[in-house]
Structure 1
Amino acid sequence: MIPFISNATLISISNTSTIIIANKTCTECLCLSKFSYVALNCFPNNTCQYFNTFPLIYKIQLQLQAHLYFIQGVFPNKSQPCFSDISCLLNRLNASNKIYTNVSQSRSISIDNHGYLVTVSSDTSTLVRLYSGNLSSVTNSSLKPFNDVPYAIAYYNETYYVGFTKYILAIDSNNLTILQNITTSYFNGVRDMIFSSNGKLMIVTSVSNSYLLFFNQTGNWSRNYNLIHNQLVNYSNPHGSWYVNDSYFYVTSWTGNAIYAYSAINNSLVWRGRLFFYIFASPLTYSGLSLTIDQYNRYWVSSGSNGIQIYNSQGILIGTINNICSFVFDVLISSDYVLYVSCYSSNQVWRIDLNN
């Protein structure tokens, strides 16, 4: 029997991959799941939400006539209590099982609906998919190299969004078909993409002209987006981003070595930004590449040649990891504390299991 909680739903407060299906009963959704997902929200309006992985930060919320199923019989937050202590965490990391694979100039990384680790190579102009357990390559026989250099990838709702200098390609994660070419004259170096309001809003950083760009989904379940708002920032080179909730997110400044916090005003048509904290950087280096927030509200900053820097919620540096590779581009942390690290200049992607 699949364990479940009545009158409850799982609410993600941090980035996680979900799929929403409408006009299906709970029984139908359970049959469709095929045990490929870790959790299922069944809403009373015949809408279902599948979770590919448990969110790092979440809450279980009361909702009458809803049901929360733990499809694989596994429950969230099974990470060991040690991980809440930064000294213990760093000790575990140094002693942990580490493996890597070669990916030429890997960029941002995500986990898709198949459980694959996905990135792009800006050297070979290709989409790269890896088995997340052992980092062996998934065959991409149906997808040829891109015509242009890719600089970023994001994943949402069975779709890869690959960012180039002047456009974004939406690619079906199941059959690798190119679904949409998303463009605007404001694109000048697409670097990161996050999704809000159940995918209705896409927020994009444009690094070379220092814009945040806001796109509206063209229809329910559509993979296409139209620009609705552009916002010039007052700092240099917005790069990475992190979704917190539908009215709050963070942006990193690549060359400004800082994290900025954004809150929504005017029904999310305008966003007010403020400096959150500065990132430590050795002289003449740029450190604001990407940001990951873990379940203990620690801010993991991918800082290029300055390694991985970990800050508390007050912006105080509490830990540094600089023994993985020479240039850290991105970090992904799974719910059970497996770290994936994209190492741009050393042409590697690492898997670090803190449980072993």
Structure 2
Amino acid sequence: MDLRKRDGAIKNSLRFVFACLLFFLTFVVAGPAQAAKVCIPHLTGGAANWNDYLSIDNTGLLPATITITLYDSTGTQVYSGQQTVAKLGEKVLKLKQLNANAQTGEISYTSETLIFRLSYENVYGGGVAEFLLTEDQNAVLAFLFSDFSKAIVSKGIALSNYGTLTATVQLYALGDGEVLDNTTISIPGLSKVVGTHSKWFPALEVSEVKKIIAVSSVSAMGGIVICANSDSSNLLFAPAVPLVSFAAHSSDLTGIWHGEWISDDGYSWGDIVLSMVQNSDLLTGTMDIDDTDFGDLKNVLFTGTAVDENIDIEASYNAWGYIIDIFSEGVLIDNTIIGFYYELVNGGLYDTGTFYITKE
């Protein structure tokens, strides 16, 4: 037997075995590569004085393919296409060449060796800014402004809703350790809002605002800080920072609250006990209401909000075949909430009155 042929056959057999083993480890044990996504929080579509660039670096030894999807101001998809980056390579895309009106976007990929950076260039002023794109999304975001340079004369944000549901967002302007102002906005799915601080807080001077906190009803949120000097020759952009939670006031409302409700009819009243949980500015829990026209009500679920010192709570329940809705508005004073309520039965006004509850 020819030994060279035998050695060649053995080598070919070993190659086949190793190939099968590699396939088994890659696709059977490890499974197929999992898709990942990073979002593009802000693009300057329609603005001729700005350019947007996406830089993609591949640090791996295999080519990597990504899918880029872009959306306009209404959340409508205006572009979707693939790009391939060579092994150990890089690619820079001028995003307005893909679509000139895009406002936000997303990048889908499977390779773990890819790094994405988003860059902006002001054509007239010459200012440039760049930051890393990550997978971070969160319901509570902090936009942190820097005041080390007197050249910065504008402080703005871009806040994007990456989900498909409309987001209700509470914005807070902070300065000198206090909440200076707040407002509520809505952002449709796959859309964004963008502007300087005065768009939402017109009564505040730019020097007063040190931070803007956004607390959203949905978790698929992201954004960037946008700061510039007068001619945009100096730019300072940075990603919004995810926060675990945010409460606009120092009081922690989580706990057991005891108090009393008093009807405006002058002869009806009873005890109230609330078991309340606060998560950021959102309130949830159960309450017991005694001596109502429908008996003693136990473990009624409620939801609410706490904005500054203003506490709003509402609940809905069924009793004796009736649908009963309760709405209350109160003010936190020290350790007590004082306010008024109104009650609907089958959609019609049934009772109004006042209440107070004190935390144990």
Q: Normalising by structure 1, report the TM-score.
A: 0.25
Specify the structure having the higher radius of gyration (Cα): 2
Q: Normalising by structure 2, report the TM-score.
A: 0.24
